[in-house]
Structures are given as structure tokens and as C-alpha cells.
């Protein structure tokens, strides 16, 4: 079954080229899933059909997609324009124990 997971925080690491990449995600609690996801797991779940999303200022879902940086690193982005600021970067850094009460329900994908 496909899962939709709301991303509530991000983990970043610096590359050898002096810029940072998202290397992990934190999600709102969902039954039977972890709340911390290393990037290889995120990319695998996306490839398997699962959905990771953030909620924008209008309380609408913005879906994450795979992204390959010019340096070759595989990561994710919410912005589709590679030159645009990514709203994913505005999320707080993941803490060891998140303080998230619940996920915002995702609107129906079947119209």
C-alpha cells in the first residue's frame, strides 16, 4: 500500500564542494513507520511509489521529488525549478526527538 508521509524537519550535511545537501528527513508520526529517514531510504520509498510532502503556507501539500545535484549527490527537492528557492530548506533541522503531534491529512489523490 502506498504511504503519504508529511515531512516536518530535515537533516543536512556539507559536501566536499562546500555546499549542503539534505541527507535525511523527519516525518510526522504514522503507524508502523519510522520518524527519521536517511536519504537512501527516502529515495527507495519514492521509487516504490510512496509520497513525501510538506505543507505550504496555504496549508496545501507540496510533493517531494528526486533531485540530482550538479555534484552528483542524489537528494530530494520540493521546488521543480532548480533555480528557485526550495521551500523544503525552510523546515527546521531535525532534533533527536521531534515535537510533532500529528500529520496534516493529505487530500485525496483520487479527485
Q: Residue 56: which domain range?
A: 4-90
The number of domains in the chain is: 1
Task: Express each pLDDT in 22-66 by its tens digit.
Answer: 999 999 987 777 789 999 999 999 999 999 999 988 899 999 999
Q: How far apart are CA 48 and CA 52, in angstroms?
A: 12
Task: Express each pLDDT in 73-98 by its tens digit.
Answer: 899 999 877 778 889 989 999 975 43
In a domain, 20, yes or no: yes
The set of residues, in sequence order, having a beta carbon less than 8 Å from that of 29 and lying 6+ positions away, is: 35, 100, 102, 103
Instruction: Tell if the pTM clears 0.85, that is, is over it.
Output: no
In a domain, 10, yes or no: yes
In a domain, 98, yes or no: no
Amino acid at each position: 500500500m502506498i504511504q503519504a508521509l508529511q515531512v516536518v524537519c530535515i537533516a543536512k550535511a556539507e559536501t566536499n564542494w562546500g555546499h549542503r545537501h539534505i541527507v535525511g528527513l523527519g516525518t510526522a508520526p504514522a503507524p508502523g513507520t519510522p520518524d527519521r529517514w536517511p536519504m537512501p531510504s527516502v529515495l527507495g520509498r519514492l521509487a516504490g511509489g510512496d509520497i513525501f510532502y510538506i505543507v505550504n503556507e496555504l496549508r496545501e501539500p507540496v510533493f517531494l521529488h528526486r533531485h540530482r545535484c550538479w555534484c552528483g549527490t542524489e537528494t530530494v527537492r520540493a521546488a521543480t525549478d532548480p533555480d528557485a528557492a526550495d521551500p523544503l530548506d525552510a523546515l527546521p533541522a531535525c532534533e533527536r526527538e521531534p515535537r510533532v503531534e500529528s500529520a496534516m491529512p493529505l487530500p485525496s489523490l483520487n479527485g
